[in-house]
């Protein structure tokens, strides 16, 4: 199966989720690719959309190879990945600046009051190593949800084995034996522009009503 784009993959996930009994759902997407996948799910379940502020870091010479994941206060390197120290320091700070800028512009905030007692649907456009999802799970579990579902169009068998014991349910469309990278399972796997992200978030969550919303998010 090859998905036309992230939106189509999200619609297929939404159809699967309609068969589940989900009490008090809240959709939490991992930026950026998880946001357009999560959008049809929020529409179908009539749920709120929030963001998990974790960011993947690609290899300097092959961006789709995930060498690690960062949040504002944690760093998780992929097994076997030992990039040069200067590269790690520079790129991690760059990713954290992007996280802080997104928080400043978008009212995404995941709080215990929002998460506690609810069923969290944690969404991304694909899972390769599982590191990004792992860091997001650690963040979510501190907020005492009733249940956690991982929802993604494509996931490696290794990542599934790593994550499935940590959540109540994994909703997966593909678990290929031979994994060729997440982008290989999409006809359109283009990076989303800042404006596209903001427009998607406008549909689902409260955005600050100021002039910054009308322009692309500026990352330094």
Q: Average of pLDDT values for 165-182? A: 95
What does the block give as tokens for 159? 């990542």
Q: Which position has the higher pLDDT, 65 or 24? A: 24
Q: What is the value of pTM for the model shown? A: 0.75
- pLDDT of 1 above 90: no
Q: Average of pLDDT values for 57-80? A: 50
Q: Average of pLDDT values for 72-83? A: 50
Q: Quote the CA–CA distance of 158 and 9 in Å, as a whole number.
A: 21
Phi then psi for residue 203, to 5 deg, are: -70, -25
What does the block give as tokens for 210? 């100021």
- Write down all domains in the chain, each with its CATH number in brackets: 6-54+100-214 (3.40.50.2020)
Residue carrying structure tokens 């290929």: 176
Q: Average of pLDDT values for 108-114? A: 72
């Amino acid at each position: 199966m090859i998905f036309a784009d992230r939106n189509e993959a999200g619609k297929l996930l939404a159809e699967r989720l309609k068969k589940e009994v989900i009490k008090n759902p809240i959709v939490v997407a991992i930026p950026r690719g998880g946001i357009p996948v999560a959008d049809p799910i929020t529409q179908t379940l009539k749920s709120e959309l929030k963001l998990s502020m974790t960011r993947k870091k690609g290899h300097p010479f092959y961006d789709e190879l995930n060498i690690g994941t960062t949040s504002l206060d944690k760093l998780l390197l992929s097994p076997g990945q030992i990039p040069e120290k200067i590269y790690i320091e520079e790129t991690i700070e760059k990713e954290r600046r992007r996280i802080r800028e997104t928080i400043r512009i978008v009212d995404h905030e995941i709080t215990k009051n929002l998460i506690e007692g609810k069923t969290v649907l944690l969404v991304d456009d694909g899972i390769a190593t599982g590191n990004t999802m792992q860091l997001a799970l650690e963040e979510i579990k501190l907020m005492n949800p009733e249940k956690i579902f991982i929802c993604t169009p494509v996931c490696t068998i290794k990542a599934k084995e790593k994550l499935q014991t940590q959540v109540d349910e994994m909703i997966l469309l593909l678990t290929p034996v031979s994994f060729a990278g997440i982008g290989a399972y999409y006809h359109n796997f283009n990076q989303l522009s800042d404006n596209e992200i903001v427009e998607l978030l406008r549909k689902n969550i409260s955005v600050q009503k100021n002039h910054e919303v009308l322009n692309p998010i500026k990352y330094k």
